[in-house]
Amino acid sequence: MISKHQWDWNIGKKNIADMAHWGERFSWVEEPYVSPDGEKIGAIVNLSEGEFSVCVNGHQWENVYDKIWYLRFAPDGRLTALVSDTGEWTVAVDDVAWENRFDYVWNTMFSTDGAKIALAVQQDMTYGLALDDTPWEATFANMTNPTLSPDGAHTAAVVQVEGFGEGEIHKFQAGAFTAAVDGVPWDNRFVNVWKMTISPDGQKLAAEVRLNLYDYTIAVNGNPWEQFFGCVWEPVFNPKDNSVAAPVRINGKWFLAEDGRVCWNRPFVQIWNLMFSPDGRHLAAVVGPKYGKWTIAVDGQPWATTFNDMVAAAVFSPDGKRIAAVAKNSGRWFVAVDGTVWSHPFDRAFEPAFSPDGRHVAVKYERNGKYGIAINDRLLDGGYDQIWDPVFNPAGDKILLRTLKDGTYARHVLSVEDMLR
């Protein structure tokens, strides 16, 4: 993987591709995607009836397929697409298809560094996962919530391991679902299993489970917490010590529990979207302090500012000392940093990005159908037909913008100091 240190961080604008002419070459051009370093833009293109390919920086892939979908760049810059060749599906990576073929594939997943690629597969009406062209040995009658570990070494999913008919309620209540790690199911069975996550070191899997018609908890490596609750939401791992935290419902209120024990004594109307700071010292979540009001709570303490529509896309700064979020209030979107709301409202705002030192926050926004970037509550040039999330350089003094305007895709490297003057 090429690190950010190796990207081109020279100040200036570089025109990469003139997409306006792509429409003249192909029957149609689908939604474009750009590489993390901004050096490539790609899109699925239709050549004629039942013939599809991919165009990257104006160059068409050599291979042609029956159908292509879910075009995505991996974090390491490789371009992937789910492709159908004579009715059989697989993934193509930089125009090289995996050898294995399936009846259907979906949900391409990448390791943090992009070196590992996994996807969900269907074969002969059974389901499994495939990692770097190696499918699970076992397949299952039903599968949901495919998951890849951050290091890309392990895959997991919710699977059905016991069959039951429509009227066999007793079999359903006895437990027909569990989690499978690398294709091997847990020994314990549950009435339901939902969202799951794999620990940063790849050694543990935690999942929401339903024990019976009334009791819910979190299971870690197949072993449920001793404490049961009226409901639970998706668990997360502490990157510092691999403890597991999850929102839990007790007597109609939501609390935060860690390894089964309530750790936020203050209840909320709702808690979700948990996130640990990178160093594991702080835990934040989207919370409802009262009905119809939303905000962020950090270590159990909610911001004073609330929003009446929603709070989404919250992130910690790399040092874990700050947190930023986008929120919707009375139909308009805002950015809030450490509880302070920026002055500019937007038609839409996207996930914030912190500079490595945590001093600056940049956000992609939409206004009147056009896109721009805001940094530290200052609006930069807008008017783009599309713009992708901003990226800071490792030193935090430059920012990469990837823009599309009037058919021209360009990458811009700007000085943060100059942008804030």
pLDDT band at 169 (very low <50, low <70, confident <90, very high): confident
Nearest by Cα to 274 from 224, 264, 265: 264
Count: domains in the chain: 2
Final residue of a structural domain among 180, 208, 224 = 224
15-31, pLDDT tens digit by residue? 999 999 999 999 999 99
Rounded Cα gap, residues 87 and 93, in angstroms: 18
pLDDT(377) > 90: yes
Give me the pLDDT at residue 127, please: 98
**Which percentage of the chain shows pLDDT scores above 70?**
100
**Taking all residues of the chain, what is their mean pLDDT, rounded to a whole number?**
96
Given a cut of 80, whether residue 339 has pLDDT beyond it is yes
Q: Which helix (H) or strand (E) holds 130?
A: strand 126-131
Q: What's the pLDDT tens digit per position in 28-46?
A: 999 999 999 999 999 999 9
Mean pLDDT across 179-186: 98
> Does residue 79 contact residue 56 with C-beta atoms inside 8 Å?
yes
118 and 189 together in one domain:
yes
Question: Do both 143 and 161 map to the same domain?
Answer: yes
- Does residue 325 lie in a domain region? no
Note whether 89 and 116 are same-domain residues.
no
Structural domain ending residue among the three candidates 177, 209, 224:
224
Structural domain harbouring 29: 16-101
pLDDT, position 187:
97
Residue 174 parent element (H or E)? helix 169-174
Give the predicted TM-score (pTM) of the model.
0.95
Domain co-membership, 75 together with 126: no
Residue 22 is assigned to a structural domain of this protein: yes
- Residue 6 resides in a domain: no
- Asked if residue 29 and residue 93 are part of one domain, the reply reads yes
Average pLDDT over residues 331-358: 97
Higher pLDDT residue, 343 or 171? 343
* Residue pLDDT, tens place only, 254-312: 999 999 999 998 999 999 999 999 999 999 999 999 999 999 999 999 999 999 999 99
Please, what is the Cα angle at 185 between 170 and 210, to 5 degrees? Answer: 45
Segment 132-144 shows an average pLDDT of: 97
What mean pLDDT is predicted for residues 355-362? 97
**Does residue 308 belong to any structural domain of this protein?**
no
The DSSP secondary-structure symbol of 30 reads -
* Range in 59-68, 162-171, 223-232, 376-385 the model is least confident about: 162-171
Asked if residue 344 lies in contact with residue 337, where contact means CB atoms within 8 angstroms, the answer is no
Average pLDDT of the residues in 52-70 = 98
**What does the pLDDT read at residue 1?**
65
Question: Which one of 175, 200, 224 terminates a domain?
Answer: 224
CA proximity to 385, closest of 399, 369, 401, 374: 369
Picking from 370, 360, 369, 368, the residue whose alpha carbon sits closest to that of residue 335 is 360
| Domain shared by 163 and 201, yes or no | yes
Mean pLDDT along residues 329-336 = 98
Domain annotation covers residue 230: no
